[in-house]
A and B are shown apart, each in its own frame.
Chain A
Amino acid sequence: MIAPDDLTTLLAAWLPKQRWYGGKGRPVASVEVVRTHRLITQDDGAVDLLLLRVTPEGGEPDLYQALVGERSGSLPERLLHASIGTSGETSLYDAVYDHDAADVLLQRLGTGGEHDGLSFHNAAPVEQGLPNRVMSAEQSNTSLVFGDACILKLFRRVQAGANPDVEVTTALSEAGSPYVARPLGWFDTDVDGQRTTLGLLQVFLKGSSEGWAMATASVRDLFAEADLHADEVGGDFAAESERLGSATADVHRLLAETLPTAVEGATEAAATARQLHARLDAALEVAPQLEPYAAALRAAYDELAARTQQVAVQRIHGDYHLGQVLRTQDGWVLLDFEGEPARPLAERTALMSPLRDVAGMLRSFDYAARHLLAERHGDAQLAYRATEWAERNRQAFCDGYARTAGADPRDEAVLLRAFELDKAVYEVVYEARNRPSWLPIPVGSIERLAAAPGSQQ
């Protein structure tokens, strides 16, 4: 067995290299193993599910979930790429790549029950004995795919409390929505006296791909044309956008029917506006590029504050963009109803206007259209085409949404504009920190939105 100090030292070096680690580049100051759940014991080693309290240098601690395996001697070849490090004769590795460990989780999700402090909940029959693999290219969580049958999402950054993804996806699925992947089970544990979700098993959507990949394929196609317009090229995406809008509206309808709703008035509008102002204050400190637009942004938020009409609020997706939707063989499916993982849980489950989701997706169309421009500065022709694509697909999305919702989101121009601007401000902060070369995308959008006072026809 590895000494506890060696374990935390190795993890401290390994964590910052993981894509799902939220400390973004900051070195780890300390790692504390909060909990150890044994999954597998065997002659030459073991696999544990660990809850780690990780404190970055100069930051607040966060809780993470990790599967860590240890073997006496060196690792077999197929696990070498997952090595965390060695201590004496013992090798540590990232056990999400250990097929046996994944199988244990799947078996327990199939039967349900308590195991060493972990509670497994089964919601539907689970096929066993399937080959498993780790899905590549994921950001904040890690997913394991079993055959073509199901996918287990392990929440990496853990906040005490039930993950809204389980609650919302279950509610939608039980209400018969074709726009979510059916949950098959989940598992949780007790953190600070609260049931805290660690993993969600869902039906795997065979043959699907991300909305972002679809949209950018369409944009590439348009950029390659010399003279054709967005509505003339073969790669036109508007019909897909329209159907996505319709699916979104249907999910919103069902969320309002099955989960709590409320109506907000002038008081709450003012509070929301104050929140947006506060976020802008914080953003201005990080991104001075926002300065020229501050007045226009504040004017838009004030318009929101001045509203007296009532607004229906409900549970929403909360972090809605083209990377959160999958095109399956039968149409669109929405994923990851957990809100923005970086925000506190209470905020992620709060009732909000569904227009926030609409605004999020509208922003995403803008991103899809313009991200290729980041490397091709100053091409006015391409910039024109990008605007054309974004406009066409944003309108198509709203058309689809209006068709199914019976109400056009564009009619709520003040709300939609304020939410879009808020989203863009958030993007500016994100890009300033992570991808300065992409900064012109959200800044350009703010410039355009700010220049269209009152409404964005």
Chain B
Amino acid sequence: MSAELEHGELVSLEQSRDPLWFKRAVFYEVLIRGFADSNGDGTGDIKGLTSKLDYLQWLGVDCVWLLPIYESPLRDGGYDISDFMKVLPEFGDLGDFVQLVDEAHKRGMRIIADLVMNHSSDQHPWFQASRADPDGPYGDYYVWSDTDEPYADARIIFVDTETSNWTWDPVREQFFWHRFFSHQPDLNYDNPDVQTQMIEVLKFWLDMGIDGFRLDAVPYLFEREGTNGENLPETHEFLRRVRKEVDELYPDRVMLCEANQWPQDVVEYFGDPESGDECQMAFHFPLMPRLFMAVRRESRYPISEILANTPAIPKSCQWGIFLRNHDELTLEMVTDDERDYMYAEYAKDPRMKSNVGIARRLAPLLENSRDQIELFTGLLLSLPGSPVLYYGDEIGMGDNIYLGDRDGVRTPMQWSADRNAGFSTADPQKLYLPTILDPVYGYQAINVEAQMRSSSSLLNWTRNLLAMRREHPVFGMGSYDELTTSNPSVLAFVREFGDDRVLCVNNLSRFPQPVELDLQSFEGRVPVEMTGHVRFPRIGELPYLLSLPGHGFLWFSLDPEDGL
């Protein structure tokens, strides 16, 4: 890491290929299908997204994260890939993708995409060849067995649809191994050709200019008898190899690991604690439900606790944090054994239980309370990690719970009050999902165009906060130190990076709260409130007294006394 990078200045993409860009970046998760439809067929596409890059740049997004864009029979939302090197035709073609990446780079933004490493669709030519010709070049690309007995200790992930991790293939007359659905056979990573081929896939997209991947279902790459088949040493060895090969040719690309596990376990995927030689990023899953719980309980402890129990990660690595995303996040995934009391807390509170599930967007989850939306966004942008915004949440979009679990939060982006919310010129009946129409969240009321025009809109507020975050690399790079306060409803912390010091004080209660902060180690500094650059009284040696409105939060830059 060079001295300049340590210094943490924001550099545009043309000027530098900063290998730590992802530590300062704000990510924005886009559903291509739901973002913008360029050809009027009722489904969003890559060209549509490209046409909206100006908007994302204006908003202050640094990196767009795409869900799978590959050719697929779409039996599992595109996570069942039938050709790793082709774009799903509904979304466009490779040319469209290259253009998207180029246009993003011109605007100083980056593009990353999901890529499933563990398995393919059963429609993939590799699988078709493997089942047809066991002795051919692809015969050993998947995990085959004469019986369904091996690896009995591996749990079945989708227990409601699958009865075994083995499925009989009548063509090859053998069983094949699958950790997910039976139409998604696991690739055989014990075959060196498979490893090489999958690295070729990564290089193919890296050559197209992609800035990184979220590697899906990474813990399950290998199978070993007598283990649960998760997080095996062989998997880590392969990830180190991937990272090394990627770094050699493409030094500023990022690998984000998808592992829905406890932070203590996920850190394994950062690799060596010093050098961080596997994935650079991983999601911090338990933080999100705890944010909601802390505000509901009006207590900082759900947050304090999980952060205090989050292990240190290599300097070159970063957590990804989010309030909402497309993915199913059940309580079971954030619940482990007795070290966590989460489940017990939720079990007592049925409303929490149903609310944290996937079906809701941020605004309806918070009962459309503007001050709560602002508090949550403020927390997301100030807690340690790189924030991931979910498309539409910046305008406070609603959801449609009648569309079912996943689709309810995947409705078309609301660009304007025009037909189909400005998303598509197709007949409304032709849309992949209906737009939101209700009087509170419908696109007539909630849309980008209207909110851009109103300076007090949530959209403009969010944009201002993102701009403020951008001015302070400390939010991405800095240490996190929680302050002791006597008021349990107030979460106060200092982020520190070089000379950049930021104090964040959050009132998790709906009532106004006083708080006394011990800021003795910053004695003599002057807190400058960041939205209005208002200078607060100099910090002395006595406790620093602040009061916050209900669900209010304050960000201060702690400046030296003479600095204005």
Interface residues of A (CB under 8 A from B): 78, 131, 133, 136-137, 145, 147-148, 206-210, 213-214, 217-218, 220-221, 224, 231-232, 234-236, 238-239, 243, 327, 329-330
Contacts and interface: CB of A to CB of B under 8 A. Distances in A.
A243 B521 CA distance: 34
Interface in B508-532: 509-511, 516, 518, 520-521, 523
Given A131-B520, A217-B298, A236-B297, A206 B484 contact: yes
A208 B518 CA distance: 13
Nearest to A206: B484
Contact of A136 (B344, B349, B484, B516): B516
Contacts of A224: 510-511
A66 to B, nearest CB: 21
Contacts of B453: none
Contact of B511 (A145, A220, A231, A236): A220
Select the residue from A136, A208, A209, A236 with max chain B CB neighbours within 10 A.
Answer: A209
A209 B486 contact: yes
Interface in B255-303: 295-299, 301
Contacts, number: 84
Closest 7 CB pairs of A and B: A234-B296, A329-B308, A209-B488, A329-B304, A214-B488, A207-B482, A131-B520
Given A207-B304, A209-B484, A209-B485, 4 more contacts: A147-B521, A209-B488, A213-B487, A232-B351
Interface of B: 295-299, 301, 304-305, 308-309, 341, 344-345, 348-349, 351-352, 482-489, 509-511, 516, 518, 520-521, 523, 541-543
B308 A330 contact: yes
6 contacts: A133-B520, A137-B486, A217-B488, A234-B297, A236-B297, A329-B305
B521 A236 contact: no
A239 B298 CA distance: 14
Contact of B345 (A214, A218, A239): A239
B299 A131 contact: no
A346 B341 CA distance: 40
Nearest to A220: B511
A207 B305 CA distance: 10
A206 B304 CA distance: 11
B298 A218 contact: yes
B299 A214 contact: yes
A133 B487 CA distance: 18
A218 B297 CA distance: 7
Contacts of B520: 131, 133
A221 B349 CA distance: 15
Select the residue from B308, B349, B484, B488 with max chain A CB neighbours within 10 A.
Answer: B488
A142 B306 CA distance: 32
A234 B349 contact: yes
A330 B541 contact: no
B541 A78 contact: yes
Given A234-B296, A234-B349, A239 B543 contact: no
Nearest to A81: B542
A239 B516 contact: no
Nearest to A134: B542
Given A78-B541, A136-B543, A330-B308, A243 B511 contact: no
Select the residue from B304, B345, B509, B543 with max chain A CB neighbours within 10 A.
Answer: B304
Contacts of B510: 221, 224
A448 B519 CA distance: 46
Nearest to A234: B296
A210 B487 CA distance: 8
A327 B484 contact: no
A148 B484 CA distance: 9
A334 B295 CA distance: 26
Contacts of B509: 217, 220-221
Contacts of B345: 239
Contacts of A330: 305, 308-309
A127 to B, nearest CB: 14
B485 to A, nearest CB: 7
A137 B509 CA distance: 22
A235 B298 contact: yes
B348 A239 contact: yes
Contacts of A206: 482, 484
Contacts of A209: 484-488
A241 to B, nearest CB: 11
Contacts of B296: 234-235
Nearest to A396: B348
Contacts of B516: 136
Contacts of A238: 348
Given A78-B541, A234-B349, A131 B521 contact: yes
Contacts of B295: 234
B268 to A, nearest CB: 23
Contacts of B485: 209
Nearest to A208: B484
A207 B308 contact: yes
Contact of B349 (A131, A214, A218, A236): A236
Nearest to B509: A217
B348 A231 contact: yes
Nearest to B292: A234
B463 to A, nearest CB: 30
A235 B511 CA distance: 12
A224 B298 CA distance: 13
Contacts of B299: 214, 217, 235
A207 B493 CA distance: 10
Contacts of B297: 218, 234-236
B298 A234 contact: yes
Contacts of A145: 518
Contacts of A148: 484
A208 B305 CA distance: 11
A400 B490 CA distance: 27
B348 A213 contact: no
A207 B492 CA distance: 9
Contacts of B511: 220, 224
A224 B509 CA distance: 12
A136 B348 CA distance: 36
A217 B301 contact: no
A437 to B, nearest CB: 22
B236 to A, nearest CB: 30
Contacts of A136: 516, 543
Contacts of A78: 541
A236 B543 CA distance: 30
Nearest to A231: B348
Contacts of A207: 304, 308, 482-484
